[in-house]
Amino acid sequence: MAELIRIGEQMLAKTVSRVDMETGKPVPAAPRTRFGRLGSASMASRQLDAPPSPLPPPAMGRKVTVLTIDGGGIRGLIPGTILAFLESKLQELDGPDARLADYFDYIAGTSTGGLITAMLTAPNKDKRPLFAAKDINKFYLENGPQIFPQRMGFVNTLIELKGPKYDGKFLHSKIQSPPRRDKDPRHPHQRRHPNFRRQDSPAHHLLHLRPRTLMRLCVQAQTLPLKDVLLSDVCIATSAAPTFLPAHFFQSRDDSTGQTRDFNLIDGGISANNPTMVTVNQISRKMIVSKEEFFPMGPTDYDKFLVISIGTGTAKNAEMYTAKEAAGWGILSWLHSNGHAPIVDMFSYSSAALVDYGVSILFQALRSEKNYLRIQDDSLNGTAATVDVATKENMAELIRIGERMLATIVSRVDMETGKPVPVPDEGTNADALTRFAKKLSEERKARTSSQARTNSAM
């Protein structure tokens, strides 16, 4: 205890630190500034080159458009169903070739949401997205049973005691084998294609025990070779869910110097299963370092954001573990109880719920609540609530759940209780997505028109 007191005294004597926007690590704010006596600190930022895009920058329009997708394993069928609906509405407005990547400044996903993000944004040889939104569910239906092979309960238990429930080999092979021969999985080549949207796939860095936002790597890879990582490594890392799939190690290399950089990553769902807040924070950071891309918008102009956040559903019993029940749990029970991994469930559920609460309050405080749409179902039961039951019956049920969520009344977090409550005046989630599709189409057209006027004036 005396040592802990000394540690507290040492912390008071330390220089104030703040998180560096480049590395995500705390760094000294200014010399001779102590916690015991706070002073002012200057913050320097470096201009980053944004990749080219066919969607003109936000400065040409009125909003910053954002799409985020939660993690959830095979439950990716739920957002797959919802996103197919949204893309169909955009196609009704702008033609059959319209793709979600044509309308969003940023698309972010964690775990299975990260895989969906890659499918929606990675370009083919014609610089168009490799997958339409309607193809997402086809991927899960065709590959889910091989990614999550079903075994007998006792065999599963033995495997889980020794290591990850699944070896990930099939998933890794699908990720590393491009669907078309012309696809180059290295970030700079893909991100320099005009239609490759800005990605954000959170992962958790084991060595430093802090979240690592892979979007920074994507942007900086164009000028910093050690951050030039393979898209396949990003996808494997963000889907490496503890107890289910193995952690992922990979290296980047600077061929000009011979330097290498190690990455030790697991699923970002541990810290950001709902990546909305991480993404909004990254965009705000980019507004500071790339002002011309967003001007006249500033990093605190959250009322200028247009955000759609798609959940994968959560188990109804995520809120129903009791203290009496958990009081007797040991290590094994925290890791496995009645077919669930309570510790993983609690991390994922609580992080996602806190993000939704924080983002909802932010938009409501700015009287911009209609600029944020969260679609989620917190009442899943049985196998539908698991992340790895990839039977035909369960996958069909997950698609039905996605369709049911579209037909559900829009909900918004109540500032008093922190729980989502229906907002009948706004109709169903399908109605809200139809309105968002119109806003997205209008925003794209406004930017294109503004850019055309700017170009003609030059």
Backbone φ/ψ region at 326: left (φ over 0), alpha (ψ -120 to 50), beta: alpha
Question: Is 267 among the catalytic positions?
Answer: yes
CA distance linking residue 5 with residue 11, whole number of Å: 10
Structure tokens at 274: 């709902």
Q: One of 102, 105, 267, 377 is an active-site residue; which one?
A: 267
Give the Å distances, CA to CA, from 235 to 192, 195, 263, 357.
19, 19, 13, 27
Residues 6+ apart with CB under 8 A from 231: 118, 122, 185, 186, 187, 190
| Cis peptide bond upstream of 188, omega within 30 | no
Per-residue DSSP letters for 44-68? -----PPPP-SS--GGGSS-EEEEE
The residue behind tokens 């996605």 is 402
Buried b (16+ CB within 10 A) or exposed e, 31-62: eebeeeeeeeeeeeeeebebbebebbbbbbbe
Q: One of 70, 102, 111, 232 is an active-site residue; which one?
A: 111
CA distance linking residue 92 with residue 434, whole number of Å: 10
Question: Is 431 among the catalytic positions?
Answer: no
**Which positions are annotated as active-site residues?**
111, 267
